[in-house]
Chains A and B, each alone.
Chain A
Amino acid sequence: MIGLTHYLVVAAVLFVLGLVAVVSRRNTIAILMGVELILNAASLNFVAFNRFSPSFPAAFDGQVYSLFVIVLAAAEAAVALAIIFAFYKINRTVNADAANVMKH
């Protein structure tokens, strides 16, 4: 029987994959993809907690939250891609290590 724990483990695995991508990847596009993974892990948690809550199906606010997160992820991807585009125009690269102007 597939219970709440299985969903949570999948979400945690997704989260850690996303985090590792964000932390270790040099390519900004890849970092952005990692962020998407983290957001999806969070959405999966919302949905899973809602499905296994005692008041289901009368209350499904967790599912609504996940919809918001998807919308948010879309908007965030649009903004982030615009930033990456501008960054590329200046540095001719999408390598995150090049974003060190503030340090110097």
Chain B
Amino acid sequence: MEHGTASYLIWIPLLPLIGALINGANAFFGNRLPRILVYIVGCTTVFISLCLAFNAFVDLQGLPEDERYLEYSAYTWIKAGDDLEAPLADGTTAAVTGGTFKVDVGFLADPLSAVMMLVVCGVGFLIHVYSTGYMAHDPGYSRFFSYLNLFTFAMLLLVMGNNIFVLFVGWEGVGFCSYALISFWYKEMPNAWAGMKAFVVNRIGDFGFIIGFMLLFWSLGDHGVWTLNFRELAANAHLLAGMEWGGISVVTLIALFMFVGATGKSAQAPLYVWLPDAMAGPTPVSALIHAATMVTAGVYMISRMNFLYIMSPAALEVVATVGVLTALFAATIGLAQNDIKKVLAYSTVSQLGYMFLGLGVGAFSAGVFHLMTHAFFKGLLFLAAGSVIHAMSDEQDMRMMGGLWKKIPWTFGTFAVATVAICGIWPFSGFFSKDEILWKAWESGHRLHWVLGFIAAGLTAFYMTRLVAMTFFGKNRSTEEQKHHLHESPWTMVAPLVVLAVLSFAGGWLGVPEALGGHNRFHHWLAPVVDSHHGDAHHATALLAGEHGEEHAVPTGGHTAPAPHGETEHGAHAADDHAAHHNTERFFALISVLLASGSILLGLWVYLKRTDIARKAAGWLGGIPHRLLENKYYIDEIYNAAFVQNLLRATRFMAGFDTYVVDGIVNGTAILTRATASINGFIDKLFVDGAVNLVGNTLIAGGQRLRKLQTGQVQQYLYVLGAGVTIIIIVGLFIL
């Protein structure tokens, strides 16, 4: 195998596509294949992809750190310009790529995409297995598995593409699959609306994304570099430094436009509104697409484009601020929701906000780390919630639940593990990833961001405890019918829960920071991708500061913020610095855990012992805050009034314009033509036809008169003949 190429990479996305085609054909031709075969096709294709992804991961590990990438180009998709060959001094020639543009359908496996591939295939496979149990009673199972496989294909395309075009194809592909799966039960109108909403809101983001990468492409083209390949972009990004466009740095513009795309796909403010509605889809879909994988595409994309973002402190600042505000905002909404899946949806929005906070403070590896652990525990939360819903005969309202822990112990156990993980209790996975993000925020000088993120963490622990308390503890409030059907889910659903529970528990150990006695292997693994920008010492230093305790340069803003413990000296105090630094980090970890535990205990106390407090809190200030939260700050209504209705009005106006003006012009022309034509026709009839008919009629009339002469009476003829001869003779004799 030549270094850096690996043809098996193409099979990783291709296998789920084949599965999707088989199951899609089966659904199209009326489900002729037996159920079990559909399940096998759906699951095995993803499983083989998982094995291949793992193979890629092992291959990467075998390479030296600087060369950890595998690429495979299936074929050249788009090609523009000519291949040039420039003569060199020694008589040979060299290929000149300047001025030549080429887009391959190419796949890239590097540490970042390897992580994403493993998450997508791993969590994806578990969810496929889970779906075999969850969809067992649904007649549309073949269509469901087809979409699920298609989604896996698109997502793998997204994370494995070696250029922005392939990424974008995957980006749109997952958007489509998301739409198709949200509206999976399309016979119910709200589901169809939710799918449309998701699609339309995503399109708004995609629009920004397209502008972003076109701008990037164009600006680099100004420097003679025509490429969309990530590795080439990363190598040439420094050319953009100093370029300005209307007083704004071009890099900032590109980064912000791309971030618009990320806010759409990853449900950040202000485009998060589609995600809670997306819960209309089947629960495995919520777990796979709207928790574990698709919504993290924005995080992946920004990590992939990190070489651009570190060049633009302003853009990073925006990312971090939007992220932390979304985290806090969504967490408050999560406090007052009663639908179990809605709580989890807002929780997802909130956790995604954390990831963007991580990215925004320059800690790309921390963001991706949280992405991974979140995929585990949030995937698990959704699957377990699905198991609850399944057990409760499709009941989603937590007010109808309660006391379920005895009835569905496996679901409860795994749900509890995931809850503790998301709350951030040591040593569960969420602790390591969330804590790292908060720590990096503090460390890079984003004090306010840290405070907001810290509050959001407390709220997270509180609303998750509320969810658990309302669902699993207390009195059972369900109907007799539901109680009768209450049962633990089949093993196909429980097994993935257990595997994910193990991952949610232990997944964080990959990235134990040095301050807590680990080596942060996750960070080192991603370092070649997110830290390979030697041109930007600033950033590298800030990222490594956690381990090496060097100068605490801040990636954003360029000013040097004092380190948390107040020391700014270089070199000499490095060792002291190091130790003090670690102590600070440990302290922050401790208060995080205390906050989370405190919130959990408070939640349990409020929702189990003193439910009157919860009721009083709901009635606080006349119930206005509670109603505000319960109705999600009326954001949907505001959007509806501000944008949707105006847009509809505008489109109605356009439709009216079309109907009355455009159609009017067309119809008017038609009427005019008809009028002139009828005049023409009248003239034609009257004069032209008249003349023609006149000739004919005259001839007919003449003929009719003449035919009377021919009587058939020979004697008459003879009489006329005699008369004629007589006349001729008279004329001849007497007149001539």
Contacts and interface: CB of A to CB of B under 8 A. Distances in A.
Nearest to A20: B722
A100 interface: yes
A19, A23, A99, A102 — most chain B CB neighbours (10 Å): A23
B36 interface: no
A19 B715 CA distance: 10
A25 B722 CA distance: 15
B718 A97 contact: no
Nearest to B715: A23
B715 A103 contact: no
Interface stretch (B292-300, B380-388, B706-714): B706-714
A53 interface: no
B218 interface: no
Contacts of A23: 715, 718-719, 722
Contacts of A104: 712
Interface residues of B, number: 9
Contact of A102 (B712, B715, B718): B712
B715 to A, nearest CB: 5
A31 to B, nearest CB: 7
A96 interface: yes
A31 B715 contact: yes
Interface in A59-75: none
Interface in A81-98: 96-97
Nearest to A31: B715
Contacts of B714: 96, 99
A27 B710 CA distance: 21
Contacts of B711: 100, 103
A23 B714 CA distance: 8
Nearest to B718: A23
A11 interface: no
A100 B718 contact: no
Interface in B702-736: 710-715, 718-719, 722
Contacts of A22: 715, 718
B171 to A, nearest CB: 92
Given A19-B722, A23-B722, A96 B712 contact: no
A83 B711 CA distance: 21
Interface in A11-59: 19, 22-25, 31
A23 B721 CA distance: 10
A22 B712 CA distance: 15
B713, B715, B718 — most chain A CB neighbours (10 Å): B715
A103 B712 contact: yes
Contacts of B719: 23
Nearest to A97: B713
A90 to B, nearest CB: 16
A96 B713 CA distance: 8
Contacts of B710: 103
Given A19-B722, A23-B722, A100 B712 contact: yes
Nearest to A26: B715
Contacts of A99: 712, 714
Contacts of A25: 715
A80 B406 CA distance: 134
Contacts of B718: 22-23
Nearest to A99: B714
Interface in B679-718: 710-715, 718
Nearest to B720: A23
Interface string B226-268: 0000000000000000000000000000000000000000000
A24 B716 CA distance: 9
B722 A96 contact: no
Contacts of A102: 712
A103 B711 CA distance: 7
Interface string B78-89: 000000000000
A6 B722 CA distance: 23
A19 B725 CA distance: 12
A24 B714 CA distance: 11
B715 A100 contact: no
A99 B715 CA distance: 11
14 contacts: A19-B722, A22-B718, A23-B722, A25-B715, A31-B715, A96-B713, A97-B713, A99-B712, A100-B711, A100-B713, A102-B712, A103-B710, A103-B712, A104-B712
Given A96-B714, A100-B711, A103-B710, 17 more contacts: A22-B715, A22-B718, A23-B715, A23-B718, A23-B722, A24-B715, A25-B715, A31-B715, A96-B713, A96-B715, A97-B713, A99-B712, A99-B714, A100-B712, A100-B713, A102-B712, A104-B712
Interface of B: 710-715, 718-719, 722
